[in-house]
Amino acid sequence: MSGAAAEEARARRSLLPALGALSAFGPLSMDLYIPALPQLGRDLHTTEALAQVTMSACLIGLALGQLLWGPISDRYGRRLPLLWAVGGFAVASIACAFSPSIELLILVRLLQGLCGAAGMAIARAVVHDVFKGPAATAGFATLTAISGAAPVLAPLLGGALLTFTDWRGLFVALGVIGALLLLTAALYVPETHPLAERTTGGLGNDLRGIGAALGNGPFLVFALTLGLASAGFFAYLQMSSFVLQNQYGVDAQGFALIFAMNSAGIVLGAWISRRLARRPPRPARTLGGAAAGTAGEHRIDGRRIVLTSLSIGTAAAAAVLLSALLHSPLPWLLAPLFVLVGLHGVNNPTLTALALSRITRGAGSASAVLGTLAALLGALLPPLLSGTGVSAALMGATMLIAFASALVLLAATGRITRARS
């Protein structure tokens, strides 16, 4: 291997860990302070529903911000917009710590999400720039596995910090993490979008790029499927703190430990997704039984993987709901929850790769649409259903609706999505 080739290989090896960290803005923005949600509500004299809105505001920012940063990265490149946005996230996190009211906190959380969205949208676009085919699926799985470590570590760190600080101190910690991610982006993320491939024109051209993604039938089906499945995952994120602490009597540190164990399932699910993507092609057989070429790109195609995952998720969500309705002991609730959270590690990278594989130009805009649909559905569905209070039964029912809807959508659109998946 030449010196230049060896240098490029080293750069690729450092790129995915850096992108994985940058794609973790969603988990970092929410999971670090989830153990403090009940405390935050009491301190700001607000309701459980409004305390959840501080998460929803960030999710809405993460959603809408991707529609901003995706097209910007298509026009101006990946690197510079990423650096500006990550710096803004660090500043907004410190501002959250000093918010005197729930209304101002919700507003600043929206700004925090808008900035953090760049890391999520641009990281996916960079993987699309650099990797193709099964390597892209494996790359997205690596991103999910690394970003999946954030939900493992963040609540543990949040629970530990809560032993000597309050929810405001957790946002200061987020500001420090944002500064470290800015340094990571500056050191390890090069420009991957060549000048010749960048878009030109104004807002109208950006909207055309988003419109092209929305008009791509297979892409849209995969994106909506990911959005519905993510809504079930976000229902867990937004409701589990209230369910486990208020209904089952788990303290903040105990919740952080349970949350971390569940989130380890994301890493396991992403590892499974990566292994399936890296499987060698299956030899086709002639009538005499001899191998004759390959029967397809993957031994198990991505669409089939997701259908299996969503079927398991629907059954697990039904088990959560049944456990809640029967008032079963806590372990009977935690077991299916672990399965549901772990399946996010399978669904996210596989559906992302399937969706973006249908895009030939404007990967930033397509990545933005993909992330926006997932974040908006996750941001809006749980609070809308929580107006009368949060319970284990409501959490289970929300997750069941989300997973079952995703399963029905993907199964019913086989003619559109089966080819090339």
Amino acid 41: pLDDT? 82
Transcribe 193-227 into DSSP letters: S-GGG---SSHHHHHHHHHHHHT-HHHHHHHHHHH
Highest-pLDDT range among 8-12, 23-27, 264-268, 292-296: 264-268
Highest-pLDDT range among 59-68, 95-104, 275-284: 95-104
Residue 46, classed as helix, strand or coil, is coil
Mean of the pLDDT values across residues 93-119?
92
Q: From CA 299, how far away is CA 322, in angstroms rounded?
A: 35
Q: Is the pLDDT of residue 42 over 70?
A: yes
Amino acid 282: pLDDT? 53
| pTM for this predicted structure | 0.71
Amino acid 12: pLDDT? 65
Q: Is the pLDDT of residue 286 over 60?
A: no
Residue 285, classed as helix, strand or coil, is strand
Residue corresponding to tokens 């963040």: 154
- What are the residue ranges of helices labelled H in 292-362? 302-325, 330-356
pLDDT per position as a tens digit, 217-269: 889 899 999 989 988 888 887 788 889 988 898 887 788 788 878 878 888 88
For helices 302-325 and 217-242, angle between their N-to-C axes, nearest 10 degrees: 30
**410, 303 Cβ separation under 8 angstroms:** yes
Domain residue ranges in the chain:
10-195+203-280+299-417
pLDDT, averaged across the chain: 81
CA–CA–CA angle 368, 372, 374 (5° rounding): 125
Mean of the pLDDT values across residues 164-182?
90
Confidence tier at 296 by pLDDT (50, 70, 90): very low
In whole angstroms, how far apart are CA 180 and each of 9, 183, 186, 238, 417?
24, 5, 10, 26, 40
Largest CA distance in the chain: 76
Q: What class, spelled out in words, does domain 10-195+203-280+299-417 have in CATH?
A: mainly alpha
Amino acid 264: pLDDT? 83
